[in-house]
Structure 1
Amino acid sequence: MGPARVSALDELLAAGVRVVEEGLSPGTSGNISVRDGDRILLSGTGVSLGRMRPEQVAVLDLDGRLVDGAKPSKEWPLHLAFYQRDEKHRAVVHVHSPSTVAVSCLEPWAGHSAVPPLTPYFVMRVGQTPLLPYRPPGDPGLGEDLRDSPWELRAALLANHGSVVAGTTLGEAVDRAVELEEACRITLLTSGHARRELDEVATAALARQWASPWGTRTPPPTLSAPRR
């Protein structure tokens, strides 16, 4: 008999602990979710991710309606938007990690990515990360901006707010959130210096090799409006 399958709930609770251990989620900030079939398991409102209990998890349907569990984080439109954008997205991490917040307060490096290509790992593992317009936390427009962004993406910065990252698994989504925080930290450390960025040839080669979005646009899918 093979090993027992880890449940989506267990994965979510373990990912919450890791997000805190990686220094990405100060206090009760941030929220994470995983798609499990036709359900979305999402951390509840005001929950410390590192101490999240099963009864503090909300269960939503794919239209964003609460079907069971705790009151969901007010940022649920961000999570729903990623799941609506692409069937491959199965997990979402939204955090207020220090370096991503700091870079989200700066003017973006370019339209397709607020973060410059300083290391190959950022291009390979995260890809272009556009800056979405400022909206108050919990504003449904945050989800609309993400869902309708013309850029191919699996991560974005929210102006003066933080980051949101998607993956095919929770582990991949957390890995990308960690890599994005590091890329933003390096951006801040090199700001104001005569730094070398990867050129267009190098970034294009990495993007092709690692199937990573860089400099590419994609038409958003035609979707019904999310629940307000």
Structure 2
Amino acid sequence: MSISENKLREQICIMAKSLFDRGLTCGSSGNISVRTEDGGLLVTPTGSCFGRLDPAILSRLDKNGQHINGNQPTKEMPLHEAFYTSRSSANAIVHLHGTCSVAMSMMPDANEDNFLPPLTPYSIMKLGKVKLLPYFMPGDPRTGDAIRGLAGKRSAVMLANHGPVVAGKDLEAAVFAIEELEETAKLAMMMRGLSPRMLDESQIRNIITKFNVEWD
């Protein structure tokens, strides 16, 4: 059943405030976009704070990506557009500046192809493999080029020295997944130097098979 545009606007603001209140983003950082029933987008405006979004001023784009009403959309539209054009299953995208995931992206031993270590089953179930992308200036169109270069094979990427971006089948799925990404990064940073017992290849494969996880 489709969700009305007014309901989507309310959901964006509720989810954004929840992320803000729990310290998963701060100030005017982070952005969200959600696909509307007519193929357009609702997007958080540039310079807006997740803690006090107004449903009425969210940016509205038509199916061709043209801004038709509301405040100006986030400057990170290139990365949102890249995910929508390369992943047909994407109906919502969330980008945060999570402290632990950003810290982990700066580590010299960060794994570019599989950013999150297999500490729990949940990051595997909700995210698959997370690709670590190079640093780009915020709003740089090359961020979108890098995402399109993955040919739709990843639902989540980590922008080095910047923050995670997750695409989901709906807003709730995208939010839950990016929360899991940050929590797994927090665990990984807590465990650094302690030689934690991670999931082995057989356990990982069983999770991938049981939960039909994209793992490429």
Q: Structure 2 length as normaliser, TM-score?
A: 0.91
- Alignment match, 1:141: 142
Contact 1:64 1:77 survives alignment (8 Å): no
Contact 2:128 2:155 survives alignment (8 Å): yes
- Alignment match, 2:105: 104
Question: Residues 111-153 of structure 1: CA distance to partner in whole angstroms, max 9, x if unpaired?
Answer: 4211111111111122211101111001011111112225722
Q: Secondary structure at the match of 2:93?
A: strand
Counterparts of 2:113 and 2:205 in 1: how far apart (Å)? Answer: 14
Q: Secondary structure at the match of 1:205?
A: helix
Q: Secondary structure at the match of 1:102?
A: helix
- Alignment match, 2:211: 210
Is 1:175 the equivalent of 2:173? no
Contact 1:44 1:72 survives alignment (8 Å): yes
Q: How does 1:156-195 map to 2 (within 5 A)?
A: 156-195=157-196
- Alignment match, 1:8: 8
Contact 1:107 1:114 survives alignment (8 Å): no
Root-mean-square deviation (Å): 1.8
Equivalent residue letter for 1:131: L
Q: How far did 1:177 drift?
A: 1.1
Question: Residues 165-215 of structure 1: CA distance to partner in whole angstroms, max 9, x if unpaired?
Answer: 11111111111111111000011011122222222221121112112223x
- Alignment match, 1:50: 51
Question: Residues 31-81 of structure 1: CA distance to partner in whole angstroms, max 9, x if unpaired?
Answer: 011100311110001000120113431112344332222111101111111
Aligned residues: percent identity? 36
Counterparts of 1:108 and 1:164 in 2: how far apart (Å)? Answer: 21
Mean Cα displacement is larger for which, 150-159 or 178-187? 150-159
Q: Secondary structure at the match of 1:10?
A: helix
Counterparts of 1:108 and 1:167 in 2: how far apart (Å)? Answer: 28
- What stretches of structure 2 of length at least 5 have no aligned partner? none
- What stretches of structure 1 of length at least 5 have no aligned partner? 217-228
Contact 1:109 1:116 survives alignment (8 Å): no
Contact 1:55 1:70 survives alignment (8 Å): no
